[in-house]
Amino acid sequence: MNYNVREHSYVVGGLGVTGQACVRYLLRHQALVKAFDTRSTFALPSDLSSAMGNSFTSAPLTPDYFDGVDTLVLSPGLSLDIEQVQLAKQCGVEVIGDVELFARINGALPPEQAKKAVGITGSNGKTTVTLLVTHLLNACGVKAIEAGNVGRPVLEAIDSDADVVVMELSSFQLETTSSLLLEAATILNISDDHLDRHGTLHHYIDAKHRIFKHAESAIVWRDGEYVTPSVEHESARANTVEYGLGQSQQGFSVQNAQGSDWVAFNNTLLIKVNDIPLAGTHNVLNVMAALGICMQVGVKPTDAISHLATFKSAPHRCVEIANYGGVRFIDDSKATNIGATIAALEGLAPHTKGKLILIAGGDAKGADMNSLAPYLSQHVACVFAIGKDASLFKACFPNTTLVTSMAEAVKGASSFAGNGDVVLLSPACASIDMFNNYMHRGEVFKQAVEALFVDEVTS
């Protein structure tokens, strides 16, 4: 594949972290580039302001803006339906994302310089698996770097000294990606999410399945829906490693041996389930998926598993933040959709001696909260709901109390909890109606817990 950025003229659409990384890369490699942002009050960082001059605008675009432009690199936070994208298409401009730009640049490098890449997508668990794969590869002597939806823009990985780029890929990134070569790809799971952007579950699934288009192999949850490569993804479908919680002679499974449940691969015992340092059965699946991906870049599961104990989970993903009077407070603020909350409930319920009390709510993004109702009825004693769509929880689960703030939710949940109980923040919704992001929401939860118990101790 022959691709030289100097031979192209670019517009970068959206100047968040990803868009800024695109502009910096293109300028550094002497490409013709200008950029727009849809926020009228947006101000460029000082380095880009001096480098771009009049090449940046936040004003409405006219057709002549795209004169001489052949490629629009669209940030994943912007929809393909916005008027600027439609105008670009009318002007004959190709629309891609930063992951596709990475794929073209990386694919044009000599084999000894090109990065190997693996890709991880799914509704839930992407970040945990991405970080875990990166940790295990590095611990086993394979130089790896995480990039993509995990936070580091993928173009920053091209100039790194890593041999393998471990990519967390969202549906927004995948819908503008067409030529990404992957050593291994996985869709961890699929549940209703981002339907306000994709319109239907079918469109959402189609975007996710683009990860298999040029993948050499697939890591597949054998009990999952919509996660298996389709017939047109020949290579990925022909080279599949399966995993799951049930017993199986092939791939990764859970087997009972020596009086304990073990994660096994092709009948070889790897680790006791109870020795996995990540809480919940959903994380047993995440570990299996990570081991399967590591295999595809030459690391044996028996070698990788020995480094699991040194992995530190990312914040806000089913992390215990406090224990007061035998009540465990768990921050799962990253659960921004129904599937993530279901995974947390099913993962924690078997290990909870007492009641499970849920703090949830926010922006449901068009999801049908009724699909959560059976899991609430089975696992949850009561819900304290906050945010824009709090009433949806009340409608599907009568034992729901509507509150107006995180502090009020924590106070209510704590007053209901006793020794052996769990207070779980797992919102099943986005955070932007009340908070800056899910990290901010998790920090406010932690602050509310600490403030409540400090007040009790000092009063």
As annotated, the active-site residues are 126, 149, 194
Measured CA angle at 12 (ends 7, 18), to 5 deg = 115
Do strands 260-265 and 268-272 pair parallel, antiparallel, or not at all (unpaired)? antiparallel
| Exposure string for 416-425, b = 16+ CB within 10 A, e = fewer | bbeeebbbbb
Position of tokens 């403030």?
451
In sign, the C-alpha dihedral spanning 155, 158, 162, 165 is: positive
Q: Which residue has the tokens 């932007």?
A: 432
Q: Tokens 């290579």, residue?
A: 235
Quick check: 167 and 119 in contact, CB under 8 A?
yes
Single-letter code of the amino acid located at 155? L
- Report the candidate in 173, 186, 14 with the shortest Cα–Cα distance to residue 99: 173
Residue 147 to residue 280: CA distance in whole angstroms: 25
* Dihedral angle of Cα 361, 363, 365, 370, to the nearest 10 degrees: 30
Radius of gyration of the chain (CA): 23
**Distance (Å, whole) CA 420 – CA 98:** 47
Residue 71 pairs in a beta bridge with 10, 94
How many Cα neighbours within 13 Å face the side chain of 428? Answer: 32
Q: Which amino acid is at 79?
A: S
The identity of residue 109, as a single letter, is: L
Neighbours of 302 (CB within 10 A): 13
Judged on CB neighbours under 10 Å (0-12, 13-18, 19+), 264 is buried
